[in-house]
Structure 1
C-alpha cells in the first residue's frame, strides 16, 4: 500500500504521492487510471514527490491523460504545504523556491523565455505578437514558463467558445509539443480575468503557469506593470514580474485528505 494526499490549488486538484522512501513506478497508463474520476482517485494532475541531489525534493507531474509535463504552478504551491516547510524543488523546468505563506504559498517560478524555439514553435516568428491566429481571435503572444503557453487578450472573454477552440489550438502543428491555451481579458488596473485550456487536461479551474505566462505577456505588451491579480474560475493569484527577473506567484493551496492505495491495481 502507498500513501497519498489529495490537494488542490484554486480547485486545480492533485493526487500527491510521496515516493522518497519507496520508488513508485509511474507509467502514462497508471497515471491516467489514478486520475480517472470514476474508476480511480480522480485529479487534474498526479504529483510524484521524490528525493533529489540538487534540492530538498524532486517533483514529477503527470496530466490526467497520462502525459508527463515540465511544470505546474498550482501543484508547486502545494509542495511546501505537503512537506510542512519551505522547500527548494527540483523539476524538469529547473529549481523552484517555494515558501509557505498564510493560506498557501509563494513560489519563484524562474525566468520566462520568449525565443520561438524555446516555446517551442514549429518555425521562427515574433512571440510578442504572433503572425498567427485562429478564426476571430486576436494575434496571440507566446511565453515559456517551464512549459509552453499561448495567450489571447480578448475584448469579451464570455463570447469566446473556449471548449471548441481550446483543443484546436492545443494540437495545432505550430506547437510541436502542444501548448497551454490562455484566454485573457483586462478587468481593471493590474487585474486580469483568465480562462485556461490546459494541455493534456482541458478546461481547468485554475492554472498557475498560465497565470504567470499571461501576466508576463500583459507586461510585455504594456497593458499593465504589475504585480497584478489574475482571476481564474477557481479564485485569484497574485503575479509579479520585472523584465529580466524571475516570476513570483502567490496564492492558495489546500490539503483535502490523506489516503492509501495499492498502486499495482491501477
Structure 2
C-alpha cells in the first residue's frame, strides 16, 4: 500500500476525486486505474466517494501540457465530463497554471474563469449514429420508441464526447423512483452498444429547461454538464429551444450556448469549487 494525495472537487453537487498524476510513472498510472482501485476510491462508505474520478497527466502535445481521463463510479472510462472539465479548469488555476486547457480522448478543451463563473469550450456535438454510438436506423430521433413512458413527448440522441439521449416531458415533476427505474433500463438499451446517459427534460421557456440526469456508470446525480449540453442541443435541434439555454438541475444551474448554424463548439458555464484534499491508501501503488 502507498499513500496517494487526492483533491475533492464539486460542480453543482456533481463531485469528483482528482489525482494529479503529472509525476506518476506509467506503472503507477496503470495501477491507480485498475477497476478494483477505482471502485474503492468511488465508494462513499469504504473509500472517498464521488460521481467520477479524474486523472490529470502530462501531454506531449504542443497545444496543451495537460491530458485528462475520466472514470465513472463503476470503473468504466468516459470520453468527456462537462462539470468535471470545469472543476479541472479551477484546479489548474489554483495551481497557478496559465494554460487553462487540456487534451482528452475526444479532443481539446479550453476554459476561462470570470469571477465565480467557470466556463469550458467543449468540442461540437455529433449526431452521427456511428459516433454516438447507436444503431444506425434510429438517426437520433424518437429513440426508445419501444418503451411506453407516461407524458413523454419526444426524444433525441447525440454525442458530447459521450452518448446522451434526452427524453422531453410535459412536466419536470418525474418521481425519483420512476427516474431510477427508467434510467437503469434505458442506460442498457440494446440500441446503444456502449450504454447511454439519460436526460429527463422539460421546457419552461425556449431559453430555460429543467433536467434530471441518469449518468452511465453512476446513476442519478445532482447535475451533469454534458447532460445539460445534450439536453439543450437536442432541444435546439428539435426547434424547441434557442441559445443560450439555462439548465436547472437539482444541484444548481448552468448556461449552455451553441450556434447550430455554424456547428460551433459548446460553451458550458457555471460554478465549481475545491472542497478539500487528503490522502488515500492505494494497494500496490509505489512511488517512483
* TM-score, normalised with respect to structure 1: 0.95
Q: Match for 1:127 among 140, 150, 155?
A: 140
- 219-228 or 174-183: bigger deviation: 219-228
Q: Does the Cα contact within 8 Å between 2:206 and 2:240 map onto a contact in 1? A: no
Q: How far apart are 1:245 and its partner, in Å?
A: 1.0
- Rounded to whole Å, the distance in 1 between the matches of 2:9 and 2:271 is 11
Larger radius of gyration: 2
Aligned residues: 266
Please provide the CA RMSD for this pair.
Answer: 1.6
Equivalent in the alignment of 1:138: 153
Unmatched runs of 5 consecutive residues or more in structure 1: none
Q: Match for 2:238 among 221, 224, 234?
A: 221
Equivalent in the alignment of 2:48: 41
- 127-136 or 153-162: bigger deviation: 127-136
Unmatched runs of 5 consecutive residues or more in structure 2: none
* TM-score, normalised with respect to structure 2: 0.88
Equivalent in the alignment of 1:232: 249
Equivalent in the alignment of 1:78: 87
- Rounded to whole Å, the distance in 2 between the matches of 1:115 and 1:17 is 33
Do residues 200 (structure 1) and 217 (structure 2) align?
Answer: yes
Equivalent in the alignment of 2:165: 150
Do residues 172 (structure 1) and 189 (structure 2) align?
Answer: yes
- Rounded to whole Å, the distance in 1 between the matches of 2:253 and 2:132 is 26
- Rounded to whole Å, the distance in 2 between the matches of 1:265 and 1:44 is 24
Q: Does the Cα contact within 8 Å between 1:7 and 1:14 map onto a contact in 2? A: yes
Structure 1 residue runs of 4+, over 3 Å off? 128-131
Do residues 263 (structure 1) and 282 (structure 2) align?
Answer: yes
Q: Match for 1:110 among 116, 123, 136?
A: 123
